[in-house]
Amino acid sequence: MKMWSKPVGQDDMTMLRDVSDEAVAENLKHRLNAGIIYTYIGRVLIAVNPYKALDIYGADTLEVYCKDGSKVDELECEMRGITVPLHRDRVSRCSTAKLPAFEPHTKYLENLNTHKGPKPPHIYGLTTDMYHNMMIEKENQCVIISGESGAGKTTSARHILSCINKVSGRGSDRIQHIKDIIAQSQVVLEAFGNAKTIRNSNSSRFGKYLEIQFNQNGQPNGGKIYKFWLEKYRVTHLTQGERNFHVFYQLLSGCTSKEKGQYGLQGNAENFFYLNQSEVYTTDNKDDKNDFLATRTALDVIGVDTAKQQIIFKVLSAILTLGNIEFKETENVACPTKQNLLESLSQILGINRESLEEKLVSVFVETRRGGRVEITKKTNNKCQAVAARDTLSKALYSHLFDYLVKVINDALKKDNDYLSIGILDIYGFESFKENSFEQFAINYVDEKLQQVFVELTFTIEQKRREIVGSNKAHQELLQVHHDYFTVKHFAGSVDYEFGGFRERNKDELSNDLISLMQSSENSFVRDLFPETVYGVGEGGHKTNTGSAKIKFQTNGVIGKIMACSPHYVRCIKTSEQKTPLAWNQQRYTTYIYLIERFGMWYPWVFLRVVPYFDEPIRYLGLKESIVIRKTGFAIRRNFDCILRRFGIIAPETKHGWSGDRAEACRFILKAAGFDSGKWIIGKTKLFLKEPD
Report the interhelical angle of 288-302 vs 382-412 (nearest 10°).
50
Q: How many CB atoms lie within 10 A of CB 47?
A: 24
What is the edge-to-edge ordering of all strands in the sheet holding 492-497?
Answer: 477-480, 484-489, 492-497
Query: Is 154 known as a binding-site position?
Result: yes
CB of 167 within 8 A of CB of 89? no
Q: Which helix (H) or strand (E) holds 261?
A: helix 257-263
What is the edge-to-edge ordering of all strands in the sheet holding 44-48?
Answer: 38-41, 44-48, 565-572, 141-146, 419-425, 207-214, 220-228
What one-letter code names the amino acid at 273? F
CA distance 299 to 187: 9
268 burial class (0-12, 13-18, 19+ CB within 10 angstroms)?
Answer: middle
CB of 604 within 8 A of CB of 593? yes
Residue 484 three-state SS: strand
CA distance 521 to 597: 69
Question: Cα dist. 206→226, 229, 491 in Å?
Answer: 11, 5, 20
Residue 448 three-state SS: helix
Residue 48 three-state SS: strand
Query: Is 148 known as a binding-site position?
Result: yes
CB of 456 within 8 A of CB of 397? no
CA distance 426 to 227: 10
Residue 547 three-state SS: helix
Query: Is 253 known as a binding-site position?
Result: no
The two most distant CA atoms of the chain are separated, in Å, by 93
Question: Cα dist. 378→192, 383, 652 in Å?
Answer: 35, 14, 83
Beta bridge partners of 479: 486
CB of 559 within 8 A of CB of 448? no
Query: Is 376 known as a binding-site position?
Result: no
CB of 92 within 8 A of CB of 104? no
Question: Cα dist. 170→127, 178, 219 in Å?
Answer: 17, 11, 8
Query: Is 153 known as a binding-site position?
Result: yes
CA distance 178 to 463: 44
Query: Is 149 known as a binding-site position?
Result: yes
Distance of CA 289 to the CA centre of its chain: 26
What one-letter code names the amino acid at 430? E
3-state secondary structure 80-136: HCCCCCCCCCHHHHCHHHCCHHHHHHHHHHHHCCCCCCCCCCCHHHHHHHHHHHHHH
Binding-site annotation, residues for ATP: 147-154
Annotated binding site, which residues?
A: 147-154
